[in-house]
Amino acid sequence: MKPVPVPVMPEIRPGQSIELLKALHILTGDGRMNQDSRRKLKQVYHLYQFIEPLLAGLREEQGDIRLADHGAGKSYLGFILYDLFFKDAPGGSRIWGIETREELVAKSTELAARLGFGGMEFLNLSVAESIVSERLPQRVDMVTALHACNTATDDAIRFALAKQARHIVLIPCCQAEVAAVLRKNKGRDLGKGAFTELWRHPIHTREFGSHVTNVLRCLQLEAHGYQVSVTELVGWEHSMKNELIVASFRDQPRRRPTERLHELLATLGLEELRERFFA
């Protein structure tokens, strides 16, 4: 009896590893796809459209590419990037998945070995350890952080700045630190004027804090010479946490964003966070 061929879905890019998509649960064991899988794949490919031109530019300029996926989790993004771009890149190109949960590092290491993705390495390190670890190069070309919760996105930025990354791609998630400071100082600040009405109600405190966090991050990156763009990853019907921040080092003027960063922290009563956003 002839083996039943695995169905090829029109949504899947040519050359994409079917085994990888099964391991990531985008495809079922028999190679099929449901509506939720189509949504996930659409999100991944939409993100790849933003990252691929940056990678192509790096490959044209220098050949080998060094990419660090910070707060990698199950290394969903790293595996897709490797499969679509890095497995055909020059031999010295490499992806490091940096994750603090040892069991996820072990699973990703096993999957990479099974797929023959020799240019991937997974490190069980904190952000502080990853900055000084000899297992990572002194400079990294690109840093990604996909849905890194709360301050993990800020840790990824700190890592990227320390490694002089050419490109930084961030999808922040569930920011709480700024909102907590706004909430703590609310009683003190409410009498300062109508502006504080923006975060008087608890739900507004949370949402305004989330928005302000990303504004501060963009100013921080601009204060280090990066050109920053902010866009929506996919339609809001999928998730409210799909703000995509892409920063590319262009050695731009730093004075104005630095001044604006100071001013915004002072205006909102967030001076205690100054060290985080001026790292």
Sign, CA dihedral 53-55-60-61, equals: positive
Residue 174's CB is within 10 A of a number of other CB atoms, namely 13
Nearest alpha carbon to residue 85 among 65, 71, 102: 65
Nearest alpha carbon to residue 121 among 88, 89, 96, 85: 96
Q: Which two tokens stand for residue 137?
A: 């190069």
- Contact criterion met (CB below 8 Å) for 244 and 54: no
Average pLDDT, consecutive stretches of 10 residues, N- to C-terminus, the chain (279 residues): 48 86 84 78 86 96 94 90 87 92 96 95 92 95 85 90 97 85 83 83 92 95 98 62 91 97 93 88
| Ordered strands of the 142-149 beta sheet | 120-124, 94-99, 66-70, 142-149, 167-173, 243-249, 226-232
pTM over 0.85: yes
Cα separation of 198 and 229, whole Å? 25
CATH top-level class of 48-173: alpha beta
Strands 142-149 and 120-124: unpaired
Cα separation of 79 and 171, whole Å? 17
Which secondary structure element, helix H or strand E, spans residue 113, and what is its range? helix 102-115
pLDDT the model gives residue 240: 55
pLDDT the model gives residue 10: 54
Strands 94-99 and 167-173: unpaired
Q: Which two tokens stand for residue 198?
A: 């923006």
Q: Which two tokens stand for residue 228?
A: 């920053």
Maximum Cα–Cα distance across the chain: 80
So where are the chain's domains?
Answer: 48-173, 175-279
Q: Which two tokens stand for residue 26?
A: 């985008």
Cα separation of 119 and 272, whole Å? 41
- Contact criterion met (CB below 8 Å) for 97 and 121: yes
pLDDT the model gives residue 4: 43
Cα separation of 125 and 50, whole Å? 27
